[in-house]
Amino acid sequence: MKNHFGLTLVILGFLISSSLMILFNPQGATANQNNLEKFEDWAKKHEITIKTINENSLESSQAQGMMLAANTLYQIPDELLENMNGKTIYFDNQYGRSFSVISPELQSDVEGLEPGIVLKQEITSYETLHELAHIIDYHGIQGIGDSENILNHLQTQRDEIFEINNEARQNLDEIPLGYISEYSVTDENENFAEHFTYYVLYSDEFQKRMENDSLLKSKYEFFRDYIFNGIEY
Ligand SMILES: [Zn+2]
């Protein structure tokens, strides 16, 4: 008897939640339209241009990728997004490696592109954050390709914390202490971008690993205190 009652509750709960989902989460075109409008509003608010490129290879996953990037970017505080002001986010329908356009004059292979980020299929939160991090670092802190480097006051600290120490370079059989990933050892720019990405996306892992790692801890604190103004994920 008791079991039946429990089962009835489960079924009833399921029915109620399903009908709520239908009521408040309309499937199909309307929902996509609303999501796209929300993303366009977000971009407008931050003076970011959104463009799609290579649309002739359009796939159904394209809209999904765009929404994934959008939901990732909504997590970034407004103040930090000021570094994206006047820049472009390209959604490239071709498959490949995403990249950032820092300074079209200095970079090859970015002909016709404005400063910003190019996200290629298959779009991930990881790539979205990693490329955004390069904009914040190159444009915001270092002032490369952008004279309005609003985070310029962090340059000295950034150089100290993200400089690759020679010891780390020598032993690449394993991820060296002080570094969150193998790729972060590449150079100071990747070092910054990788830790930025992990700070937002894999904060649990970051916090756990920094318990016995003072360099990792100082990287975490740099992002928490100076980049994200106290916001933790
Ligand atoms: Zn990178």
Per-residue confidence in pLDDT tens, the chain, 233 aa: 445 555 555 555 555 555 445 445 555 678 888 899 999 999 999 999 999 988 765 555 678 899 999 999 999 999 999 999 999 999 998 899 999 999 988 888 898 999 999 999 999 999 999 999 999 999 999 999 988 999 999 999 999 999 998 777 776 678 899 999 999 999 999 999 999 999 999 999 999 999 999 999 999 999 999 999 999 99
29: which residues sit within 8 A by CB, 6+ positions away? none
* Domain shared by 97 and 174, yes or no: no
The Cα-based distances of 109 to 112, 113, 118, 230 in angstroms read 9, 9, 12, 37
Give the H or E element holding residue 53: strand 49-53
Distance of CA 131 from the midpoint of ligand 1 (Å): 6
Distance of CA 190 from the midpoint of ligand 1 (Å): 5
Distance of CA 54 from the midpoint of ligand 1 (Å): 22
Pick from 90, 125, 160: which residue ends a domain? 125
Distance of CA 39 from the midpoint of ligand 1 (Å): 24
Distance of CA 193 from the midpoint of ligand 1 (Å): 6
Distance of CA 211 from the midpoint of ligand 1 (Å): 26
Distance of CA 28 from the midpoint of ligand 1 (Å): 35
Distance of CA 13 from the midpoint of ligand 1 (Å): 46
Q: Helical H runs in the chain?
A: 2-24, 29-45, 61-73, 78-81, 125-134, 155-162, 166-170, 188-201, 203-209, 214-222
Total domains in the fold of the chain: 2
Confirm if 151 and 185 have CB atoms less than 8 A apart: no
Look at residue 134 and tell me if it is in a domain: no
Look at residue 147 and tell me if it is in a domain: no
For the packed helices 125-134 and 188-201, what is the interaxial angle rounded to 10 degrees?
A: 130
Q: Tokens 């592109």 belong to which residue?
A: 113
Confirm if 71 and 77 have CB atoms less than 8 A apart: no
Domain range spanning residue 167?
A: 152-227
Q: What is the DSSP letter of 18?
A: H
